[in-house]
Copies of this chain bind each other. A is one copy, B any other.
């Protein structure tokens, strides 16, 4: 005789960073940190970072905390993605996972933790993950690509100032296609979200590019459910 099933609440986070890669068509690729499971089910398999939700912790806080614990980084973008609760996604108790997604910049010589139980993987070449985590990452990737087209989350992969070429590189790496430099420049300039810092980057053997910053606020949708990250409104058009 088995005891009745119970609901358990968990928070997980899909963390994206953009890192240079050896060679290939585009110079940067999306990477995702995963943690190795240290218990059953799916012992030793890779999974999204996350943990049980305590009754005293805000959802978003739980997401950014696990993010800090696995990458050592603070997110420049953090947003709720979806809540997964299919009955068959876990054996034993039913686990409802509130999943967030985050963008971080790979700073300070990849300050990111890398030990035997935490590793970064190329987002388009993941191994078989625990639970339904492959599906979750795939959905997060779709959301990232969709949102990149109408918002300015690209900045979250970069520092405070950047050249248009760097910003374009981010878009190209995420969208997986080349963008016309001339048209990209115009569309960014006309968006009104860029500020010319006046500075330039010398040193390369070509005309020194300008450095830009982002304006601090973006027109937020009337009712962002969280009202915490005005910089990047929640969906929308979850298109």
Contact = CB atoms under 8 A, between A and B. Distances in A.
Interface of A: 4-7, 9, 53-59, 80, 82-87, 93-94, 96, 98, 135-136, 138-139, 141-143, 146-147, 149-151, 221-225, 233-239
B56 A85 contact: no
A98 B96 CA distance: 10
Contact of A146 (B4, B87, B141, B237): B237
Contacts of A85: 53, 58-59, 98
Contacts of A237: 146-147, 149-150, 235-239
A115 B12 CA distance: 42
Given A82-B234, A237-B238, A239-B239, 13 more contacts: A6-B55, A7-B54, A53-B96, A59-B85, A80-B83, A83-B83, A146-B239, A147-B236, A149-B237, A235-B238, A235-B239, A236-B237, A237-B237
Contact of A236 (B6, B80, B84, B146): B146
A224 B198 CA distance: 43
Contacts of A224: 139
A93 B55 contact: yes
A55 B7 contact: yes
Contacts of A53: 7, 85, 96
A133 to B, nearest CB: 12
Given A82-B80, A96-B9, A221 B146 contact: yes
A58 B94 CA distance: 10
